[in-house]
Structure 1
Amino acid sequence: MTITEVSEKYGISADTIRYYERIGLIPPIHRRDNGIRDFTEEDCNWVSFAKCMRSAGLSIETLIEYVGMFRQGDATAGARKDLLIEQRVQLAHRIQEMQETLQRLDYKIERYEEITCGFEKKMR
């Protein structure tokens, strides 16, 4: 696949994909003889992984660390797992905070609905 096709498939700009490759967030992409990136299914999996993890709030630095360890091989499997567990704990905490914020917003909206309904009754 070309970078344009990958960009369209995952909804990430080609510039972002190039940036991710340049900083090591995704492994280097094989290039054709003419220099055009030629994405394999495995490369696409890395792009998908990076997009998913970034959307979940993982830092670029954390993901670069993970990819670096991955490229070192199976000897880093335990460290990679630990890193992912740590990130999962942090994500679960952020989700909990967001749930609490959502509940607070729902409460506030309900109060405003009560106020506006009461106001409308008075206006009749």
Structure 2
Amino acid sequence: MMNDRDMDAVFQALAHESRRRMLDIVKDEPGIGVGALAADFDVSRIAVMKHLSVLEEANLIVSEKHGRTRKLYFNAAPIQMIHDRWTSDYSAYWAGHMTRIKYLAEARHETAPDEKKQGKS
């Protein structure tokens, strides 16, 4: 079970757009170096390091030192633990179905022909 202080750290880390983007990049490119990650942002390397520090404190990023390079990895466990706290097996089942319906409806809406262009009202 995750304590409130750890949970607060996760929510604080996820509250900033740049940190969420960093998590996306690290998730998509496991083992990316700090320098390569910093190159994707228009801020100083020190600012990137501060954001990474917040992510590491929340246990969302795990880093490994390889020589002079720090390799970064995404740790989904804290997010999963938060999810598990408020989601029962029953509600997870229905939430999953509702999410799929939402995505299907959005995809259908995006691909539907524009009725105004076809002269329909």
Max radius of gyration: which structure?
A: 1
TM-score range, shorter chain: 0.3 to 0.5
TM-score (norm 1): 0.32
TM-score (norm 2): 0.32
Give the structure with the higher percent helix: 1
Give the structure with the higher percent strand: 2
Flag the structure with more relative contact order, 1 or 2, with Cα contacts below 8 A and sequence separation at least 6: 2
